């Protein structure tokens, strides 16, 4: 079974040029032609194309307009032009074009260049797919590692909510019995006797205690429900496989969400000191950053032998968000620190780590146009520093 032909959109105001390109590529591509930029942009989903080729000089809107209009789409763009100004080429490439083809061109050279670009695009997409698959697998592996602790975190509040509901039910039975006794006895006595009887019933059924107990039960159950709700929300936030699109999110919330999910791992190993700004919005894929932070927190716990301390600081400048995760664990030997971000390298015992966590964390941070660095001293703990741009 032959591979499906790639879909290529051509935008050029010259009908003869469109026909020429269509003939050149028709054996190797599904070619869709547009004489006007607006006709092309009105297409329902521009991501359906494997490649877009646009002329630079057109009467309505030029190639730079196409580059700007398509910047939120994944489809690569090639610009072609008869203009010999090197600044135009530089401007288009800086704006995101993957290639710049000058007219006139020979049909064979043009076909070869387009097919070569399509090959590169396919290979790049395969690498991206494999990378995303690897990130998703590592995320699920981390979730599996935390699963027992998360289940315990959910079972605890659910346990005392169940206990509280049983107590609530018994208290309601006592109140019902009290009201039955009141109905049966009141009305047959004078006012003074009724008051004495009511006082006695309150003492017998401990009405004041029941009312206070009701409030305590409700408050405690509300807290348990909130804990379960927060864990479920953070799990959904972490596990949800969002599209690879950057949106503005509060990094402080991402940090607290990661802490909440890793709490079952942390609470038996370290006190956490959290020092953050009130909020800090950055362009990011939040569940990927949560994955990085959970990995760093779990690593910090594994580095602490008995019970220690993890210090998380987050600050913002006008352009950057900075995060530091510091532990007072065993530290890392100087001669292996450079290998920490290498795939499959791990300092953990066999069976405790995949060796992919830090490599994937580095990949995610670099995908966010950020930087991650490590500083450590054997026996004196480790600090991981992350710098992320506020905006892309």
* pLDDT at position 273: 92
| Mean pLDDT, residues 162-176 taken together | 74
DSSP classification of residue 6:
P
* pLDDT at position 43: 74
Q: Which is it for strands 308-316 and 7-11: parallel, antiparallel or unpaired?
A: unpaired
- pLDDT per position as a tens digit, 275-296: 999 899 999 988 889 888 988 9
State the chain's mean pLDDT as an integer.
Answer: 80
Bigger pLDDT: 59 vs 229: 59
- Across 56-183, the runs of DSSP E, i.e. the strands, are 77-81, 99-102
Instruction: Count other Cβ atoms within 10 Å, centred on residue 222.
Output: 11
Of the chain, the percentage scoring pLDDT greater than 90 comes to 14
241 has a pLDDT exceeding 70? no
| Cβ within 8 Å of residue 60, ≥6 positions away | 13, 36, 37, 38
**Last residue in a domain, options 211, 240, 269:** 240
Bigger pLDDT: 376 vs 135: 376
Token code pair at residue 298: 């779990």
Whether residues 264 and 308 fall in one domain: yes
**In a 3-state reduction of DSSP, which class is residue 318?**
coil
**In a 3-state reduction of DSSP, which class is residue 309?**
strand
Contact between 322 and 315 (Cβ < 8 Å)? yes
Q: Which residue has the tokens 């080729």?
A: 53
Distances (CA, A) of 171 to 177, 206, 207, 218: 10, 10, 9, 13
Q: Residue 392 domain-assigned? A: yes
* pLDDT at position 209: 73
pLDDT band at residue 139 using 50, 70 and 90 as cut-offs: low
**In a 3-state reduction of DSSP, which class is residue 216?**
helix
Q: Residue 87 domain-assigned? A: yes
Whether residues 146 and 85 fall in one domain: no
Angle at 233 between CA 231 and CA 239, to 5 degrees: 95
Distance CA 149, CA 314 (A): 26
Contact between 83 and 64 (Cβ < 8 Å)? no
- Bridge partner residues of 320 (DSSP): 389
Whole domain around residue 96: which residue ranges? 7-105
* pLDDT at position 359: 81
- Bridge partner residues of 130 (DSSP): none
Whether residues 186 and 268 fall in one domain: no
* pLDDT at position 44: 64
Sign for the CA dihedral angle at 179, 184, 185, 188 comes to positive
**In a 3-state reduction of DSSP, which class is residue 2?**
coil
| Mean pLDDT, residues 14-31 taken together | 88
Whether residues 211 and 321 fall in one domain: no
- Bridge partner residues of 281 (DSSP): 250
Whether residues 247 and 374 fall in one domain: yes
17 has a pLDDT exceeding 80? yes
Whether residues 205 and 280 fall in one domain: no
Distance CA 152, CA 262 (A): 12
Closest Cα to residue 391, out of 251, 245, 282, 318?
282
Q: What does R_g of the chain's alpha carbons equal in angstroms?
A: 32
Distances (CA, A) of 170 to 8, 174, 216: 72, 6, 15
Q: Residue 133 domain-assigned? A: no
pLDDT band at residue 265 using 50, 70 and 90 as cut-offs: confident
312 has a pLDDT exceeding 60? yes
Whether residues 29 and 90 fall in one domain: yes
Q: Residue 114 domain-assigned? A: no
Q: Residue 305 domain-assigned? A: yes
Q: Residue 378 domain-assigned? A: yes
Distance CA 75, CA 71 (A): 9
Whether residues 246 and 236 fall in one domain: no
DSSP classification of residue 34:
E
Q: Residue 83 domain-assigned? A: yes
Whether residues 235 and 247 fall in one domain: no
Distance CA 333, CA 6 (A): 50
| Mean pLDDT, residues 20-33 taken together | 88
Whether residues 327 and 378 fall in one domain: yes
255 has a pLDDT exceeding 60? yes
| Mean pLDDT, residues 130-147 taken together | 66
Distances (CA, A) of 323 to 319, 367, 381: 14, 16, 17
Of the chain, the percentage scoring pLDDT greater than 70 comes to 79
**Last residue in a domain, options 105, 130, 153:** 105
- pLDDT per position as a tens digit, 57-91: 888 788 888 888 887 778 888 898 888 788 888 88
Residue 391 sits in a domain of what CATH number? 3.30.565.10
* Least confident among 130-134, 212-216, 217-221, 324-328: 130-134
Angle at 255 between CA 249 and CA 257, to 5 degrees: 90
Instruction: Count other Cβ atoms within 10 Å, centred on residue 180.
Output: 10
Whether residues 258 and 388 fall in one domain: yes
Distances (CA, A) of 9 to 25, 36, 231, 379: 11, 12, 46, 59
Whether residues 85 and 50 fall in one domain: yes
Contact between 272 and 312 (Cβ < 8 Å)? yes
Distance CA 167, CA 183 (A): 25
| Mean pLDDT, residues 24-44 taken together | 85
First vs last Cα of the chain: how many Å apart?
42
* Least confident among 187-201, 250-264, 343-357: 343-357
* Residue 331 φ then ψ, to 5°: 75, 180
Q: Residue 122 domain-assigned? A: no
* pLDDT at position 68: 85
Residue 13 sits in a domain of what CATH number? 3.40.50.2300
**Last residue in a domain, options 221, 240, 259:** 240
Total structural domains within the chain: 3
């Amino acid at each position: 079974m032959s591979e499906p032909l790639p879909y290529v959109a051509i935008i050029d105001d010259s009908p003869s040029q469109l026909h020429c390109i269509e003939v050149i590529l028709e054996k190797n591509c599904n070619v869709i032609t547009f004489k006007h930029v607006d006709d092309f942009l009105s297409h329902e989903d521009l991501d359906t194309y494997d490649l877009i080729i646009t002329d630079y000089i057109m009467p309505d809107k030029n190639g730079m307009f196409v580059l700007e209009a398509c910047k939120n789409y994944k489809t690569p763009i090639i610009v072609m032009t008869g203009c010999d100004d090197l600044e135009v080429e530089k401007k288009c490439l800086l704006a995101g074009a993957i290639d710049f083809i000058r007219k006139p061109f020979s049909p064979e050279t043009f076909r070869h260049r387009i097919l070569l670009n399509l090959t590169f695009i396919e290979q790049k997409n395969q690498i991206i797919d494999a990378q995303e698959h690897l990130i998703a697998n590592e995320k699920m592996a981390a979730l599996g590692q935390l699963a027992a602790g998360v289940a315990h975190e959910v079972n605890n509040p659910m346990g005392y909510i169940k206990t509280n509901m049983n107590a609530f039910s018994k208290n309601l039975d006592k109140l019902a019995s009290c009201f039955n006794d009141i109905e049966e006895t009141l009305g047959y006595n004078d006012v003074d006797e009724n008051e004495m009887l009511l006082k006695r019933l309150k003492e017998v059924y401990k009405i004041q205690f029941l009312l206070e107990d009701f409030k305590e039960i409700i408050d405690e159950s509300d807290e348990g429900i909130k804990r379960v709700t927060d864990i479920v929300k953070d799990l959904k936030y972490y596990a949800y496989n969002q599209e690879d699109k950057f949106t503005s999110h509060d990094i402080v919330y991402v940090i607290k969400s990661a802490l909440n999910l890793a709490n079952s791992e942390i609470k038996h190993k370290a006190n956490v000191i959290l020092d953050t700004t009130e909020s800090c919005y950055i362009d990011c894929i939040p569940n990927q950053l949560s994955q990085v932070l959970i990995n760093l927190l779990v690593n910090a716990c594994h580095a602490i032998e008995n019970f220690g301390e993890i210090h998380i600081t987050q600050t913002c400048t006008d352009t950057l968000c900075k995060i530091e995760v510091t532990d007072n664990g065993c530290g890392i030997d100087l001669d292996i620190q450079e290998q920490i971000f290498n795939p499959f390298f791990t300092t953990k015992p066999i069976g405790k780590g995949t060796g992919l966590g830090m490599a994937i964390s580095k990949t995610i941070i670099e995908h966010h146009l950020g930087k991650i660095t490590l500083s450590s001293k054997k026996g004196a703990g480790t600090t991981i520093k992350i710098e992320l741009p506020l905006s892309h």
